[in-house]
């Protein structure tokens, strides 16, 4: 094509200095440890069965209620039945992370869908989504799930679905706000002028702009789910014993708390560290948004 | 398009009106605008803020706010766009008309790499595969004067300066080889030297690609020497439409003349006070009967305040204006003074 020839740039404009990637802010020490901890926890949960020397979570491998010692199985001691607490924590992590992960995917998926439609089309859809989000936000999650599980019987599937359902409104609101704030931007107008369909505008123009916000919000919300799930298991409504769960282990060790206080140490520490790490990662990601907004 | 292109003008706007509901009743943003644009022609649309320039092109592009009530017809190559269903209309417009927006800082998506933004339309409308679209995008970036186009393909918008972003926007608008390029105040947000570069680029592209172009601007200097025809808008109405040189040489409408005399000129001594037009632009919410310019017009007579002047067409049909007391052709036109000055942006 003859038209595609170079057109000179005058001295008034500088060419792109050096294409550089979007920068990630420097990790603080706490953030580095948080990332490391989460990676180790996820790896431990995935490969819990394959760690050499680690006993099965339900295998009574030693004396009961032994204090922590320097061996892989005895790292956090043994529980009232002589089972390795460390092994049970890793297997419990597998259950917890699966439940929380699936619940988050459910709420994220439906929340984004509803929120984006509400923000883009407004009108009746928006009012429905607002009503839904406000109503669900008013419900205490633990009580609702307790009632549900009492009615239908303890079930991990039911609990996961309910946890996911109760967070849909939160994500929907975030997505809705994001879409509304972008609706009038020129690049959306430009995309429409280029003949892009609504679906394309939502998915390819607006969604990428929502991603950093969501990335910063998902970890703290997941931390909240971990606490809710732990509470339910603690109350005996989540993961049923003898399957290992963090909340269940805390419940077991409270019976022996006066004689063997160290038993509660492992599961509590794990929950605290996980929640702390998720919140720290969330803070780091929101710091990244602030930074990027300054760059733009 | 079964009809051969040369029978119909590329773009025909017929009695286009547009009203937007406002707090004080409907605002008549556009009233009865009609014009045609032949193939391979550059048209300037000038007017002050609130004259309806931007809404006119947005209405043509079907991207006016959805609450705007639009009447009239827009024909692209003889096809009435309003008669098409929404999907076909959007696709047709996206394929055949490119648009560049006022502010390059906000018209590129900050989270999408520029290469993808440039190639997006060609993949959708021309069905190019990833590789072909990419090659075309890089060629386009090069054509609009981006150095290291292959590297910039991967860049994000914030890495580029305003002028560069506007070049990228132009590349985006050209992705489907449009027959019409609309530049809506495309240089207003840029500084003066870059403005000239971008305008020169637009003009070069328009001539090389033999496409039509609409330059929307409030600056008469922008259209001088770069367009074949000029439309002057005031208060949501088309008040004068003429070949560019004739408009500068002998404007017939009083508003056009006032606008021309408000332009700073290089042959005036330094610190000459600029001529202004007294009064304010008309209220769109409460339009008065008669010519919208009448309250500010030095030559207004009672007829001006009573009724909207009809469109007068010159003998050769190329000069149209709506004025009860037009300036005489030739007498006011001091051609030697009002030579179009392309550099004066």
The three-point CA angle A107-A108-A114 to 5° equals: 85
Tell me the nearest-neighbour CA distance from B28 into chain A, angstroms: 21
pLDDT at B3: 47
Residue A204 lies in a domain: yes
pLDDT-derived band at B112, boundaries 50, 70, 90: confident
Cβ-based contacts of B171 with chain A (< 8 Å): none
| Per-residue model confidence as pLDDT tens digits over A45-73 | 999 888 888 888 888 777 877 788 888 88
Closest-CA residue of chain B to A189: B63
- pTM to 2 decimals? 0.76
Closest-CA residue of chain A to B116: A204
pLDDT at A278: 95
Distance CA A148, CA A161 (A): 11
Are residues A208 and B106, on separate chains, in Cβ contact within 8 Å?
no
**Percent of chain B whose pLDDT exceeds 70:** 93
Are residues A15 and B147, on separate chains, in Cβ contact within 8 Å?
yes
Helix A246-255, helix A85-121: angle, nearest 10 = 130
Cβ-based contacts of B146 with chain A (< 8 Å): 9, 15-16
Output the six-digit token pair for B157. 């918008």
* Residue among A191, A209, A184, A182 nearest B121 (CA): A191
Size of interface A-B (CB pairs under 8 A): 133
Closest-CA residue of chain A to B103: A186
The dihedral sign for the CA sequence A36, A41, A44, A45:
negative
Distance CA A27, CA A55 (A): 36
Are residues A193 and B61, on separate chains, in Cβ contact within 8 Å?
yes
Cβ-based contacts of B151 with chain A (< 8 Å): 16, 19
Are residues A5 and B175, on separate chains, in Cβ contact within 8 Å?
no
Fold of B11-267+274-316: Rossmann fold (3.40.50)
pLDDT at B290: 85
pLDDT-derived band at A296, boundaries 50, 70, 90: low
Residue pair A121/A206 in contact (Cβ under 8 Å)? The answer is: no
* B320 DSSP β-pair partners: B241, B313
Asked if A10 has any chain B CB less than 8 Å from its own CB, the reply is yes
Answer whether residue A194 shows pLDDT above 90.
no
List the CATH number of the domain containing A195.
1.10.3720.10
By Cβ distance, the residue of A3, A12, A196 closest to B193 is A12
Higher pLDDT, A19 or B84: B84
Answer whether residue A23 shows pLDDT above 70.
no
| Count of structural domains, chain A | 1
Residue pair A279/A225 in contact (Cβ under 8 Å)? The answer is: no
Cβ-based contacts of A4 with chain B (< 8 Å): 139-140, 142-143
Write out the H or E segment, with its range, that includes residue B43: strand B42-46
Higher pLDDT, B292 or B330: B292
β-pairing verdict for B42-46 and B237-243:
unpaired
Residue A92 lies in a domain: yes
Residue A1 lies in a domain: no
Asked if A293 has any chain B CB less than 8 Å from its own CB, the reply is no
Are residues B197 and A14, on separate chains, in Cβ contact within 8 Å?
no
pLDDT-derived band at B124, boundaries 50, 70, 90: confident
Q: How many CB atoms lie within 10 A of CB A177?
A: 15
Are residues A296 and B159, on separate chains, in Cβ contact within 8 Å?
no
β-pairing verdict for B180-184 and B79-80:
unpaired
Distance CA A189, CA B56 (A): 15
Residue A246 lies in a domain: yes
Domain extents for chain B? 11-267+274-316
Asked if A192 has any chain B CB less than 8 Å from its own CB, the reply is yes
pLDDT at B329: 62
Closest-CA residue of chain B to A10: B197
pLDDT at B342: 43
The dihedral sign for the CA sequence B266, B269, B271, B276:
negative
β-pairing verdict for B69-76 and B11-22:
antiparallel
By Cβ distance, the residue of A3, A187, A196 closest to B143 is A3
Tell me the nearest-neighbour CA distance from B260 into chain A, angstroms: 29
Distance CA A31, CA A49 (A): 29
Answer whether residue A96 shows pLDDT above 80.
yes
Query: Which distant-in-sequence residues (6+ apart) come within 8 Å of B162 by Cβ?
Result: B104, B105, B189, B190, B191, B194
Work out the average pLDDT over B262-266.
80
pLDDT-derived band at A238, boundaries 50, 70, 90: confident
Distance CA A249, CA A70 (A): 21
Work out the average pLDDT over B103-107.
85
| Per-residue model confidence as pLDDT tens digits over A123-137 | 899 999 999 999 999
């Amino acid at each position: 094509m003859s038209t595609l020839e170079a057109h000179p740039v005058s001295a008034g404009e500088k060419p792109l200095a050096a294409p550089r990637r979007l920068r990630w802010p420097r990790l603080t020490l706490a953030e580095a440890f948080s990332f490391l901890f989460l990676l180790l926890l996820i790896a431990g949960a995935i490969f819990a069965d394959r760690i050499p020397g680690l006993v099965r979570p339900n295998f009574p491998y030693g004396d009961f209620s032994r204090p922590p010692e320097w061996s892989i199985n005895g790292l956090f001691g043994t529980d009232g039945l002589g089972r390795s607490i460390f092994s049970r924590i890793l297997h419990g992590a597998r259950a917890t992370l699966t439940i929380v992960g699936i619940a988050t995917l459910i709420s994220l998926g439906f929340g984004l869908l509803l929120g984006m439609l509400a923000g883009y089309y407004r009108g009746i859809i928006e009012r429905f989504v607002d009503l839904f989000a406000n109503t669900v936000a008013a419900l205490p999650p633990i009580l609702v799930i307790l009632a549900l599980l009492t009615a239908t019987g303890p079930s991990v599937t039911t609990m996961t679905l309910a946890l996911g359902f109760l967070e849909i409104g939160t994500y929907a609101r975030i997505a809705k706000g994001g879409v509304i704030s972008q609706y009038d931007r020129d690049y959306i107008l430009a995309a429409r002028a280029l003949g892009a369909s609504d679906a394309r505008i939502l998915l390819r123009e607006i969604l990428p702009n929502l991603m950093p916000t969501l990335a910063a919000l998902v970890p703290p919300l997941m931390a909240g789910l971990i606490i809710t799930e732990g509470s339910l298991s603690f109350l005996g409504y989540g993961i049923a014993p003898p399957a290992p769960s963090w909340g269940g282990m805390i419940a077991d060790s409270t019976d022996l708390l006066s004689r063997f206080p160290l038993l509660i140490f492992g599961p509590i520490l794990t929950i605290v560290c996980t929640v702390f790490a998720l919140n720290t990662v969330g803070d780091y990601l929101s710091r990244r948004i602030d930074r990027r907004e300054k760059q733009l | 398009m079964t009809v051969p292109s040369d029978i119909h003008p590329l773009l025909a706007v017929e009695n286009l009106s547009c009203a937007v509901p406002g707090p004080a009743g409907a605002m008549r943003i556009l009233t009865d605008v009609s014009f045609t644009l032949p193939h391979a022609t550059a048209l300037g649309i000038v007017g002050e803020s609130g004259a309806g320039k931007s809404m006119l092109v947005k209405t043509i592009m079907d991207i006016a706010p959805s609450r705007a009530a639009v009447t009239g017809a827009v024909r692209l190559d003889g096809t009435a766009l309003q008669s098409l269903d929404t999907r076909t209309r959007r696709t047709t417009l996206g394929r055949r008309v490119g648009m560049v927006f006022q502010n390059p800082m906000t018209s590129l998506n900050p989270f999408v790499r520029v290469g993808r933004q440039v190639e997006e339309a060609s993949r959708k409308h021309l069905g190019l595969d990833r590789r072909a679209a990419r090659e075309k995008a890089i060629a386009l970036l090069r054509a609009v004067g981006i150095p290291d186009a292959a590297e910039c393909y991967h860049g994000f918008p914030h890495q580029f300066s305003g002028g560069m972003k506007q070049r990228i926007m132009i590349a985006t608008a050209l992705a489907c080889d449009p027959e019409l390029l609309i530049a809506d105040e495309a240089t207003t947000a840029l500084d003066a030297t870059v403005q000239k570069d971008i305008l020169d680029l637009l003009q070069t592209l328009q001539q090389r690609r033999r496409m039509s172009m609409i330059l929307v601007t409030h600056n008469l200097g922008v259209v001088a020497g770069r367009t074949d025809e000029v439309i002057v808008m005031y208060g949501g109405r088309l008040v004068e439409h003429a070949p560019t040189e004739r408009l500068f040489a002998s404007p017939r409408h009083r508003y056009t003349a006032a606008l021309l005399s408000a332009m700073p000129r290089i042959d005036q001594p330094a610190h000459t006070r600029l001529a202004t037009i007294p009064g304010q632009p008309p209220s769109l919410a409460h339009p008065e009967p008669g010519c919208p310019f009448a309250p500010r017009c030095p030559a207004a007579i009672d007829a001006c305040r009573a009724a909207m002047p009809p469109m007068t067409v010159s003998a050769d049909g190329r000069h149209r204006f709506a004025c009860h007391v037009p300036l005489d052709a030739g007498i006011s036109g001091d051609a030697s003074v009002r030579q179009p000055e392309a550099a004066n942006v």
